[in-house]
Amino acid sequence: MKVLLNKKYILSYLIVFGFLFGLLICELSIRFFYTLREKKICNSHPAYFEKCENYIFYDYITKIRFYSKTGYRPIEGWVGKGVRIDNNGLRTDKNINKNSSNVVLVSGGSTAFGAGVKQSDLFTENLNNTVSAGVGGYVFANEFNFVRDILIDRINFDYWISFSGYNDIYGAYRGLDYFNSPDMFNLEKLIYYANKEIGFNKYIPKLRYNIDKTKSSLDYNDYSVKFYWVINRLLVKSGLKKLQYEKEVETLDEKIILDIKPVEYNLFFSKLKNEILLANSWCKNNGIKFIYILQPSLHSTKKNLTNFEAKIYEEANQKHPGMNNYFSDFYIKLDSDIKNLANSNGFLFINADEFIRDGYEQETFFVDYVHFGSRGNAAIAEGLKVFLKSIK
């Protein structure tokens, strides 16, 4: 009798083990064949060195925490796809701390952050003692607060480069005053929903967002267990399961944006100038050399555009009439005005468009109006290397 029971137990264990082993084989097979399929169908992007890479291939923004001065800042120690944030809030694999010397800190928005490229392709990672404090969406006012209030207490740096300009102009183009409210709408949205909840309709600001509902996703990357992804796809295709509207997504209200009158240049620059002068004064008091680098933009570059880049430029004309002219006009004026401001106030200035012109006629750098692929990051790194060598 005991022998029969033992055999039954053994058989039961074997059945369970076989079932689990079969699931494991299915899971591994799904992952293998999906990866194989992706490698076969992916296309080369002209702005990248490696096949299959594109702007959304890697995480293009970090997970963030609330920070009242700017609305948000990176979560320290966060690791994403192709992105690693160190314990100081910087996107770098270098060991930078308060005991480091001759460090170059580069702040800015998503281009300085390296949106769209993996860590090793980010231009700051390919320069000695240079680290990125770029944060997606930041304007200069955000950068200054982040550097002054957070980073100065965490690391030692001798040079502060603001690699920016585009986001400030973009804010002006949309008629938004980031200098008086540099939190990128996080606080505005909180106030909106808080006041709406308790009925203070008089104090509800005009929110520039629509709330759109989106269907639940069947995206491969949204499933940690890929076998479950296959089952869901089969159920949906067979009609046994319907995708439900399960999450809300905020989208910019383009009609409201287009109704807002863009800011005039003189008003725009008077505020940016004050921020830059304040930052330069702070740097002098802390023994830091301040450098303002005007980042390149497809709207205004003097680079010979490749067919891919020219197509993006023309799409901007069609989707946003007048946008290219607005940005080009502001860039020309900023180039001259910040250069004069630098000469008269003892800080350094260079237009990084110079880094991507000569010798790169056949190279595609831009993936959109302002972001670079790995090729563009390599060109920026080379130009910045020469520039930094000339000033040290």
174-186, pLDDT tens digit by residue?
876 655 555 454 5
Whether 282 maps to a domain, the answer reads yes
pLDDT, tens digit (0-9, with 9 covering 90-100), for 111-141 = 999 999 999 999 999 999 999 999 998 999 9
Whether 53 maps to a domain, the answer reads no
Whether 103 maps to a domain, the answer reads yes
Whether 57 maps to a domain, the answer reads no
Whether 56 maps to a domain, the answer reads no
Q: Are residues 173 and 281 in the same domain?
A: yes
* Burial status of residue 206 (CB atoms within 10 A of its CB: 0-12, 13-18, 19 or more): exposed
Residue of 19 and 75 predicted with greater confidence: 75
Boundary residue ending a domain (258, 288, 304): 258
* CB-CB contact of 292 with 347 (8 Å): yes
Q: Are residues 98 and 230 in the same domain?
A: no
Instruction: Read off the pLDDT of each residue in 366-371 and give the average, rounded to a whole number.
Output: 95
Domain of residue 220 covers 188-258
pTM: 0.76
Q: Are residues 193 and 222 in the same domain?
A: yes
Whether 51 maps to a domain, the answer reads no
pLDDT higher than 80, residue 248 = no
pLDDT, tens digit (0-9, with 9 covering 90-100), for 147-162 = 999 999 999 999 999 9
Q: How many structural domains does the chain have? A: 3
Q: Are residues 278 and 200 in the same domain?
A: no
Q: Are residues 177 and 192 in the same domain?
A: no
Give the domain CATH number at 337: 3.40.50.1110
Q: Are residues 102 and 246 in the same domain?
A: no
Q: Are residues 229 and 210 in the same domain?
A: yes
Q: Are residues 151 and 112 in the same domain?
A: yes
Q: Are residues 121 and 208 in the same domain?
A: no
Boundary residue ending a domain (240, 258, 276): 258
| pLDDT value of position 256 | 42
Q: Are residues 221 and 294 in the same domain?
A: no
Three-state secondary structure along the chain? CHHHHHHHHHHHHHHHHHHHHHHHHHHHHHHHHHHHHHHHHCCCCCCCCCCCCCCCCCCCCCCEEEECCCEEEECCCCEECCEEECCCCCECCCCCCCCCCCCEEEEECHHHHCCCCCHHHCHHHHCCCEEECCCCCCCHHHHHHHHHHCHHHCCCCCEEEEEECHHHHHHHHCCCCCCCCCCCCHHHHHHHHHHHHHCCHHHCCCCCEEEEEEECCCCHHHCCCHHHHHHHHHHHHHCCCCCCEEEEEEEECHHHHHHCCCCCHHHHHHHHHHHHHHHHHHHHHCCCEEEEEECCCCCCCCCCCCHHHHHHHHHHHHHCCCHHHHHHHHHHHHHHHHHHHHHHHCCEEEEHHHHHCCCCCCCCCECCCCCECHHHHHHHHHHHHHHHHHHC
| pLDDT value of position 56 | 81
Whether 269 maps to a domain, the answer reads yes
Whether 352 maps to a domain, the answer reads yes
Q: Are residues 220 and 244 in the same domain?
A: yes
Q: Are residues 91 and 155 in the same domain?
A: yes
